[in-house]
């Protein structure tokens, strides 16, 4: 009887202890694994999620000396110049086994990477960038408004993800800058919203003796309706104006699975005009639609932004 009472008391005490422990909230500030504003639970969830965007995909030429060497739904762009390689976005950790083999398959050496650029500071586009920088000694160049997220390792976008290894940035870019290496010129345009320093790149190359411009990225995705992350309308309008000055012929995006659907065979075969060629007026239409949408959200106070 006494023994059973003791057992019951112990069981009650244990259950109180367990429930009070389970109810103790994990403070993000003291969580040793917290990074980019996410706590341990978020991390564990991410590990359990299948990453289908980083699956291998064979590389193809976009135009001239510009190649797609990324995964099935996360881009990595290689520009091969006589003075070395430029890489825009390096993808997830899982994509290290996609990007490097693709580079080698095309006949290029990872050791020749001299310059790295990024679309924006979200881990899925540059999780391995600092590692590659250390291995190759390449310079990382980034727009000034993205520096804080890059050097701290914390994702400062409106739809925060888990951050990345802090990145050493060797060159700070301003919107409109000309980035040149080995005769190739790239214009960067600041397209803020998705993250504070998101960028769109216009890569000038030659295809069959003719100049061709490849755009990586597109109109901004300005953030509205969030006190913390609102994009300054003036910055968004400046981006639209700058994008209107550009006249790209071929477009590739950061998560291109939909864009590439039904076009991969032709891209791998590399014959005829690129299936990624923009239709006449398509670029201007994209900018106009995005800007009209942004103006509408500004007037209605509707929340927008985010995306991936």
Residues that bind Zn ion (CB under 5 A): 122
How far is residue 54's CA from residue 257's CA, in Å, rounded to a whole number?
Answer: 11
CB of 67 to Zn ion, least distance (A): 22
Nearer to Zn ion, 156 or 212 (CB): 156
Nearer to Zn ion, 64 or 157 (CB): 157
Nearer to Zn ion, 121 or 215 (CB): 121
CB of 120 to Zn ion, least distance (A): 6
CB of 61 to Zn ion, least distance (A): 26
CB of 194 to Zn ion, least distance (A): 6
CB of 307 to Zn ion, least distance (A): 7
Nearer to Zn ion, 38 or 122 (CB): 122
CB of 91 to Zn ion, least distance (A): 12
How far is residue 133's CA from residue 108's CA, in Å, rounded to a whole number?
Answer: 17
Pairing of strands 84-88, 113-117: parallel
Nearer to Zn ion, 253 or 288 (CB): 253
Residue nearest to Zn ion (CB): 122
CB of 43 to Zn ion, least distance (A): 18
As a three-state string, the secondary structure of the chain is: CHHHHHHHHHHHHHHHHHHHHHCCCCCCCCCCCCECCECHHHHHHHHHCCCCCCCCCCCEEEECCEEECCCCCCCCEEEEECCEEEEECCECCCCHHHHHHHHHHCCCCHHHEEEEECCCCCHHHHCCHHHHHHHHCCEEEEEHHHHHHHHHCCCCCCCCCCCCCCCCCCEEECCCCEEEECCEEEEEEECCCCCCCCEEEEEEEEECCEEEEEEECCCCCCCECCCCCCCCHHHHHHHHHHHHCCCCCEEECCCCHHHHCCCHHHHHHCCCCCCCECCCCHHHHHHHHHHHHHHHHHHHCCCECCCC
Nearer to Zn ion, 197 or 248 (CB): 197
Nearer to Zn ion, 122 or 133 (CB): 122
């Amino acid at each position: 009887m006494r023994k059973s009472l003791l057992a019951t008391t112990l069981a009650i005490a244990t259950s109180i202890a367990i429930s009070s422990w389970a109810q103790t909230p994990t403070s993000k500030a003291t969580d040793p694994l917290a990074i980019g504003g996410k706590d341990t639970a978020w991390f564990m969830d991410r590990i359990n999620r299948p990453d289908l965007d980083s699956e291998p995909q064979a590389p193809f030429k976009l135009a001239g000396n510009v190649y797609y060497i990324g995964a099935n739904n996360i881009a990595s762009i290689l520009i091969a110049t006589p003075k070395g390689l430029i890489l825009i976005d390096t993808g997830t950790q899982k994509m290290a086994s996609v990007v490097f083999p693709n580079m080698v398959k095309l006949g290029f050496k990872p050791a020749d990477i001299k310059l790295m650029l990024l679309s924006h500071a979200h881990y899925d586009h540059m999780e391995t960038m600092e590692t590659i920088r250390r291995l190759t000694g390449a310079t990382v160049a980034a727009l000034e408004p993205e520096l804080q997220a890059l050097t701290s390792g914390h994702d400062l976008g409106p739809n925060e993800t888990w951050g990345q290894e802090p990145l050493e940035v060797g060159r700070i870019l301003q919107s409109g800058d000309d980035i040149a290496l080995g005769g190739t010129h790239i214009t960067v345009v600041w397209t803020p919203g998705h993250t504070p320093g998101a960028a769109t790149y216009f890569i000038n190359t030659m295809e069959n003796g003719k100049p061709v411009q490849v755009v990586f990225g597109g109109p901004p995705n300005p953030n509205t309706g969030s006190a913390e992350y609102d994009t300054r309308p003036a910055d968004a309008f400046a981006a639209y104006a700058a994008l209107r000055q550009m006249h790209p012929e071929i477009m590739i995006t950061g998560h291109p699975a939909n864009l590439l659907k039904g076009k991969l065979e032709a891209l791998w075969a590399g014959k005829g005009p690129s299936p990624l060629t923009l239709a006449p007026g398509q670029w201007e239409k994209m900018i106009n639609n995005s800007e009209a949408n942004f103006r509408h959200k500004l007037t209605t106070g509707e929340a927008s932004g985010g995306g991936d």
